[in-house]
């Protein structure tokens, strides 16, 4: 987002703020506050050094590549003192009111008399009317107070209309707006990878999906590299023979996708980067995609990637290594980029 705003002629930076929920969420171990978490931590303790390294590498990436504000914001009172010509909220699940690191601050209620823009935030499939109905008047006020309002998925557009009466434009995630050359600059050159491999990214590690990926790996005799160490260890995914990279950070993630022979994912950003790198990849259908969680379906539909959407039922006759046709994607991406840049340029032109 920061790079896109800069590319259209404005100086921008990322507010260096993490909520208490975020700080807790990204710790190597869970809070020792329940029997369930204690059991998880016992499983994780032998791997704590690796988890700590992952967190360290993420922080190093932030410092190296992200244009963070010079002052680290640690309290909401400090946030209220910030002075910019415009504020942009987005993107990702900053409006998911059910997650541990949710905070009202991402609706920008503290911004007064300054241009306020929402670019491609997401409710993360959680309608505030259902999951936090007692505060629906508060969310209505938050939404009505934006000067320009957009959202990342179709259900979010519908929920904004129901809550606030406002029309929000559905725009693509900002990661789709950058040319691939920008991501190539982030690639790791110090990582040892097999010549051919499957990259598998499914944050929840549904075990039925793991079974499917294992069968495909056997069919083609390809090793599987996966992602997200914490749930990997908690769910015992190592039983499938899947391997983790030496450490996890955005550079490693991009490198693993770029160099993979085949990618399987259920993830929104896994879908984005697989398509940007024009990979052989498949989005594995799961039930949530067809209920309230339409984030991936919205993305697949808008970018004409429907042929990449498959059931995770192994078919020994199916050619999982078939060459993809990206011609429709190219056209759709061009349209979505133009629409998004028009939204941003129009919004930011109102800076006083």
String of b and e for 29-48 (b: at least 16 CB within 10 Å)?
ebeeeeeeeeebbeebeebe
Q: 9 and 52, same structural domain?
A: yes
Task: Match 């990702």 to its residue by tokens.
Answer: 92
Q: 78 and 114, same structural domain?
A: yes
Q: 238 and 108, same structural domain?
A: no
Task: Output the domain CATH number for residue 239.
Answer: 3.40.50
- Find the helix or strand (DSSP H, E) in which 153 lies: none
Cα 286-161-101 angle, rounded to 5 deg: 55
Q: Dump pLDDT digits (tens) for 191-205.
A: 999 999 999 999 889
Judge contact between 123 and 41, C-beta under 8 A: no
Q: Dump pLDDT digits (tens) for 271-311.
A: 999 999 999 999 998 765 555 568 888 899 999 999 999 99
User: Whose CA is closest to 58, among 221, 214, 227, 252?
Assistant: 252
Q: 186 and 172, same structural domain?
A: no
Judge contact between 186 and 65, C-beta under 8 A: yes
Domain that holds residue 41: 2-176+337-348
What DSSP string describes 207-227?
A: HHHHHHHHHHHHHHT--EEE-
305: Cα within 13 Å, side-chain hemisphere: 28
- Give the model's confidence band at 116: pLDDT under 50 very low, under 70 low, under 90 confident, else very high: very high
Q: What is the pLDDT of residue 136?
A: 95
Q: Dump pLDDT digits (tens) for 226-280.
A: 999 999 999 999 999 999 999 999 999 999 999 999 999 999 999 999 999 999 9
Structure tokens at 85: 């010509």
Give how many domains the chain has, as a whole number.
Answer: 2
User: Whose CA is closest to 94, among 117, 122, 73?
Assistant: 122
Judge contact between 292 and 210, C-beta under 8 A: no
Q: Provide CB contacts within 8 A for 64, sequence distance 6+.
A: none
Q: 269 and 127, same structural domain?
A: no
Q: Are strands 262-265 and 281-284 parallel, antiparallel or unpaired?
A: parallel
Q: 200 and 58, same structural domain?
A: no
- Percentage, residues of the chain above pLDDT 90: 86
User: Whose CA is closest to 128, among 170, 168, 153, 164?
Assistant: 164
Q: Dump pLDDT digits (tens) for 304-333.
A: 999 999 999 999 999 999 999 999 999 999
- Give the model's confidence band at 18: pLDDT under 50 very low, under 70 low, under 90 confident, else very high: confident
Q: Dump pLDDT digits (tens) for 124-174.
A: 888 999 999 999 999 999 999 999 999 998 999 999 999 999 999 999 999
Predicted model pTM: 0.94
Q: 26 and 42, same structural domain?
A: yes
Q: What is the pLDDT of residue 303?
A: 96
Q: 199 and 172, same structural domain?
A: no
Please give the C-alpha separations between residue 248 and each of 60, 83, 189, 256, 276, in angstroms, as whole numbers.
11, 34, 14, 10, 20
Q: 135 and 39, same structural domain?
A: yes
Q: 262 and 169, same structural domain?
A: no
What rounded mean pLDDT belongs to the chain? 94
Q: 231 and 161, same structural domain?
A: no
Q: 220 and 193, same structural domain?
A: yes
Judge contact between 156 and 123, C-beta under 8 A: yes
- Give the model's confidence band at 44: pLDDT under 50 very low, under 70 low, under 90 confident, else very high: very high
Q: Are strands 115-118 and 169-170 parallel, antiparallel or unpaired?
A: unpaired
Q: Dump pLDDT digits (tens) for 73-92.
A: 888 889 888 999 999 998 78
CA distance 230 to 29: 8
Judge contact between 32 and 25, C-beta under 8 A: no
> What is the three-class DSSP state of 102?
coil
């Amino acid at each position: 987002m920061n790079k896109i705003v800069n590319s259209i002629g404005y100086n921008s930076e990322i507010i260096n703020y993490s909520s208490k929920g975020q700080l807790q969420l990204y710790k190597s171990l869970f809070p020792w506050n329940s029997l369930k978490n204690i059991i998880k931590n016992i499983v994780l303790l032998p791997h704590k050094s690796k988890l700590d390294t992952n967190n360290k590498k993420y922080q190093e990436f932030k410092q190296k590549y992200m244009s963070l504000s010079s002052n680290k914001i640690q309290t909401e009172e400090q946030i209220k003192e910030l002075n910019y010509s415009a504020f942009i909220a987005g993107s990702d699940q900053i409006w998911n009111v059910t997650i541990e690191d949710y905070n009202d601050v991402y609706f920008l209620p503290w911004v007064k008399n300054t241009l306020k823009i929402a670019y491609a935030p997401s409710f993360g499939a959680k309608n505030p009317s259902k999951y936090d109905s007692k505060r629906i008047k508060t969310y209505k006020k938050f939404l009505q107070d934006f000067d320009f309002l957009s959202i990342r998925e179709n259900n979010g557009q519908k929920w904004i209309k129901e809550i606030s009466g406002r029309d929000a434009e559905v725009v693509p995630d900002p990661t789709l707006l950058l040319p691939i050359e920008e991501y190539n600059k982030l690639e790791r050159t110090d990582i040892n990878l097999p010549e051919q491999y499957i990259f598998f990214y499914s944050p929840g590690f549904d075990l039925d999906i793991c079974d499917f990926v294992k069968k495909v790996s056997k069919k083609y005799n390809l090793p599987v590299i996966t992602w997200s160490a914490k749930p990997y260890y908690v769910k015992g995914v190592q039983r499938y023979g899947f391997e983790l990279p030496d450490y996890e950070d955005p550079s490693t993630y991009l490198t693993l996708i770029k160099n993979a022979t085949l990618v399987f994912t259920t993830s929104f950003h896994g879908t984005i980067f697989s398509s940007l790198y024009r990979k052989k990849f498949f989005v594995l259908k799961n039930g949530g995609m067809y209920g309230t969680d339409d984030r991936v379906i919205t993305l697949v539909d808008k970018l004409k990637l429907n042929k990449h959407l498959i059931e995770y039922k192994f078919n020994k006759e199916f050619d999982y290594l078939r060459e993809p046709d990206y011609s429709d994607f190219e056209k759709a991406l061009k349209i979505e980029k133009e629409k998004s840049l028009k939204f941003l340029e129009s919004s930011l032109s109102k800076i006083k």
